[in-house]
Structure 1
Amino acid sequence: MTSKTIASSEPSIIESIDQLFLRFIVGKNKIYKEEEYNDGLSEAEQDDKELGLPAAEEKSGWNQRILLEVEKDRVKRVEADKRLKDKRNALLMRYFQQSLLKVVNDKLENSESVISDQLQLRENTVELLKKLLAGEPRYSVLASLLELNPGTRNRLLSLVSSEDFMKALGRDPRNVRDIQTAIGMIGTDVLRFLVPAILFKYRINAYSHHNTLFAKKLWRYEMTLGQTCTALMHDINYRRPYEGMLLSAMVNFAYVASYQQYLSSFEVVRTACLDQAREKGEKNRHDFFYDIKTDSASLQALLVSQADLKLSLALSEKLFQKSFPHLVNALKEEVEGLAYEERTTVGKILFKAVRFAKYDQLRSSRLFKPEWQDDYLADSYIEQDVFKNLLRQELFRFKPTWS
């Protein structure tokens, strides 16, 4: 994803942060120090307590009790059974993960299916984005296109009745049912920032019961990235700064599509494993797959395989090459790791925005060490005054208006 340092065995600060970010975004817990990152440690401790096994410190001290020989034998049997069960479950989990990742990666090779089923970017949705971001559409045209996108339409109507949202626009909320009236209340200028944001938020599916923490982190990253692009575009008086959220979504197409395909394929593979175990009469195997849950390890393995963003580029080229070639080209420069000095204007903006968004996500989780900051900002080509301005704006929160 980034240019490699020639003849260096040590990863650059950019590469190290990229790796840390990938580990963080699929992590289960809020982690305060990198060395404390251990996805399964708490579960292991919980298992021991549930089995009634004494902790190391409980075996010594004044309250240590002497176990009877019969009880010692029982504990040994329990420990042996647990080791056998853990070994069997580890093998089953590995088999399931490998099967799941194969199915997911096979499905992701069909870009047409990914666009329609996982990203749900149908022709009328793409047309809505084109009209809104690349033209000066009439309210009636936007209304007709939003009628074909009922999810986005309903959320806009809901926002118009939101006191907090309308207050941010300096307007009074109203309960309306007509989308053209809602468009007039919000205004085209705000809609250009708003529609891509709410559209892509629900493509991530932050309300799935699987890996909800991952979905929330991914959406926060995408919002921060998009609004960082917008802020940087404003700084140079870029003509269409509202393209920032679309560019951010394009960067994350690989992650969103992979995640959605992961969720849908999970149930398919799980059902196949259950049927196979049922046919063979293997109760333990059946019970394991019946209770299995999505896990961060297999999701991380999937995201690592898509971290070079080649899938994002392939999908973006199919969707937006004709309408937004400059955005697609900026993503291509990021995918190819083009040197910063050789990038286009939008490519340089994306370069900075990706790195700031990752910094902000890790900083907010207390994973980014202060001593890394100067080197990271220098390698990210982010000047100190620009950095302070970006940080001050809390870009993970939606900004309906930009001064």
Structure 2
Amino acid sequence: MRDEHARSYVHRRVTEKFLNWLLTSKLAQTEDLYDGLLSDYDYESEIAFDKFTRKPTQRLLLDVEKDSEIRRAEIRQREQELRGIGQQLLSEKMRAHITQQTSNFSYVKNNLLAISPEYLDAIQELSNSFGSIRRLSSILSTTDELSDNLLRLVNSPEFCMTTKRPPKKIMDLTAACGLIGMDGLRFLVPGIFLKNRLKSECEHFPLLSQKIWSYYVTSSNAARHRLVPHNCNTRDELTAMVTGAIVCMGMVALHKQFNLSFEFSKRALLEELRAKRKNILYHAVLDVTPSPMVLRELLESSSMRIVNNVATQCDWGHKGKVRQAVVEHANDKKSQERSIHGLAVGQGSTYAMWFLLSNANLLKSSPKLEKLAMSHVRLPMSCVEDLKAKSVNKLVMGDYIG
């Protein structure tokens, strides 16, 4: 019981640290959380009131200047307090609006994630043991984002080098799908779909999309490798790529809605303050930036709720294995009670969080703590070393193509 408590505690702390890292403005850092994102007014005075506290870079005030400087300091402090009040009001509005919008699954599915019936049909065809390239290419041809990306891929120098095919312009989607193959498409299509939803720029969290992508690649790839010892066929193994993409959809949806809700909530708050003639607070809110804590709290409280809805309210095929695996992970089911696929998702996720945090210099090198974190999801350290050797943080096209 004591060991189980220690494993749970370490895993929970790793998860918290991972969510914090997602919102920081650097890939690797030792700085405090949310560095570069706080809206506090940082004022470093260039003057000193007396020679005892004066720094080498500061000018010593004359007696006649001190009263005026005290008044200016009081004004700056008041402005800072007003900005703090404005950010608190804005955060409350944003939190309520994001929660309301993301509670509407139809809105999340159609607007934030744009999960089309054609994409679901493609995933079901890929999960079918009798799946046909011709039927699949017919489905994919109705979605520009997938068909264009696949054609661009087969015409890339990297693909030609992988398949040892002389460069030749391919314009026919069926021919392109034939060159990639069913296993290659199972490997690539979920990632193409997810990456297209990570292209929106965000001035508040400029690296969040990149970090979510790194998490997807590492976690789904690790889960894929963990399914191999269970004698799964290639189709079962590549289910990990679909489940990995779904697990990231909660973060993607919240990220998109954060930007939308910021604009909506700030506009609504300014109109409300103008109507009440609170001019001083109105001008303070004009300069307010969103608090990262809003998104941080929602990533913890709402991300898996969205993921659970995506898994249960869409038909992902594969005899319900994808749905079951994602639901088990979203509801944090105990490792010993999970299905093979659900366990692989949990192991991939834990490995990815530890790997990314270690690369970001945010975890101390501690074999004992690493073992506790991995044993929470029943991942032996021998398997951890194997995953490190396989470089699962990269998608190697040659694994299933050529």
TM-score by length of structure 2 reads: 0.87
Name 2:42's counterpart in structure 1: 47
Change (3 A) 1:236 1:205: same
SS in 2 for 1:12: helix
- The equivalent of 1:28 in structure 2 is 25
3-state DSSP of counterpart to 1:106: helix
Greater CA drift, 330-339 or 106-115: 330-339
* Counterparts in 2 of 1:344 and 1:271: CA distance versus 1, 3 Å: same
Structure 1 counterpart of 2:11:
14
State whether residues 128 and 145 of structure 1, in contact with CA within 8 Å, keep that contact through their aligned partners in structure 2.
Answer: yes
Q: Is the contact made by 1:316 and 1:328 (CA closer than 8 Å) also made in structure 2?
A: yes
Task: Specify the alignment match of 2:244 in structure 1.
Answer: 248
382 and 140 in structure 1: CA distance in 2 versus 1, 3 angstrom threshold = same
Which residue matches 1:300?
Answer: 296
Describe the SS at the equivalent of 2:171. coil
d(CA) in 1 for partners of 2:382, 2:286:
54
CA contact (8 A) 1:5 1:12 kept: no
**How many angstroms does 1:42 deviate by?**
8.6
Q: Deviations over 1:253-303 (max 9, x none)?
A: 322222222222222222222333444555554445444444422211211
**Deviation per residue, 1:190-209 (Å, 9 max, x gap):** 11111111111122335444
* CA gap 1:205/1:71 in 2 versus in 1, 3 angstroms: same
Q: Which amino acid aligns with 1:120?
A: A
Shift of residue 140, structure 1, vs aligned partner: 3.1
> What's the secondary structure of 2:322's corresponding residue?
helix
Q: How many residues align?
A: 396
Q: Secondary structure at the match of 2:239?
A: helix
Q: For the residues of structure 1 that align with 2:10 and 2:71, how far apart are their CA atoms?
A: 49
Amino acid at match of 2:16: Q
From 81, 93, 107, give the equivalent of 2:101. Answer: 107
Root-mean-square deviation over aligned CA pairs: 3.2
Q: Structure 1's 392 and 45: CA in aligned 2 closer, same or farther, altered over 3 A?
A: farther
> Any conservation in 2 of the 1:169–1:400 contact (CA below 8 Å)?
no
Match of 2:379 in 1: 382
Deviations 1:114-167 (A, max 9, x none): 111111112111111111232444333222212221112111122222212432
Percentage of identical aligned residues: 20
Measured in 2, the distance between the counterparts of 1:172 and 1:284 equals 68
Verify: 1:142 aligned to 2:139, yes or no: no
- Note the 1:118-267 alignment, pairs <5 A: 118-205=112-199, 207-239=201-233, 240=235, 241-267=237-263
Q: CA deviation at 1:251?
A: 1.7
TM-fit CA distance, 1:9: 10
TM-score by length of 1: 0.87
Amino acid at match of 1:374: K
Report the Cα distance in structure 1 between the residues aligned to 2:313 and 2:49, rounded to whole angstroms.
57
Instruction: State the SS of the aligned residue for 2:314.
Output: helix
Change over 3 Å in CA distance of 1:17–1:79 after alignment to 2: same
Alpha-carbon separation, structure 2, partners of 1:192 and 1:164:
19
Q: Which one-letter code corresponds to 2:172 in the other structure?
A: D
CA distance in 1, matches of 2:41, 2:47: 10
Segment of structure 1 superposing worse, 266-275 or 104-113: 266-275
Question: What stretches of structure 1 of length at least 5 have no aligned partner?
Answer: none
Deviation of the 1:5 alpha carbon: 7.5
